[in-house]
Amino acid sequence: GQSLEQPSEVTAVEGAIVQINCTYQTSGFYGLSWYQQHDGGAPTFLSYNALDGLEETGRFSSFLSRSDSYGYLLLQELQMKDSASYFCAVSEMDSSYKLIFGSGTRLLVRP
């Protein structure tokens, strides 16, 4: 079956670095993406990995290891506005073309 696991909550201090892990079990893996969602808002796209390695976009980086079925989102120089929920999502492409989301990690950034 399909499953994604990520921590439910993470707390960090402003200015620090935090890593949110995501492990997945799925068929027809195509890629791993990350979304940010503030309370009351819609998810917004952060990054996408189809190949192994690190993708960097400003303060955010995302990593994928296909052989380990594992990825992470790295947030550097944390700011208060980074307090939000972060979702990993797996794109499947076998007989279907689904997008499966994890249950989300709530990040709280403290001053």
Partner 1 sequence: EAQVTQNPRYLITVTGKKLTVTCSQNMNHEYMSWYRQDPGLGLRQIYYSMNVEVTDKGDVPEGYKVSRKEKRNFPLILESPSPNQTSLYFCASSTWGQETQYFGPGTRLLVL
Interface positions with partner 1 (CB under 8 A): 2, 30-31, 33, 35, 42-45, 48, 50, 87, 89, 91, 96-104
Nearest to partner 1 of 50, 80 (CB atom): 50
Shortest distance in whole angstroms from residue 106 CB to partner 1: 11
Shortest distance in whole angstroms from residue 11 CB to partner 1: 18
Contact 37, 46 (CB under 8 A): no
In the structure encoding, which two tokens stand for residue 73, read together?
């989102």
Cα(99)–Cα(12) distance, integer angstroms: 29
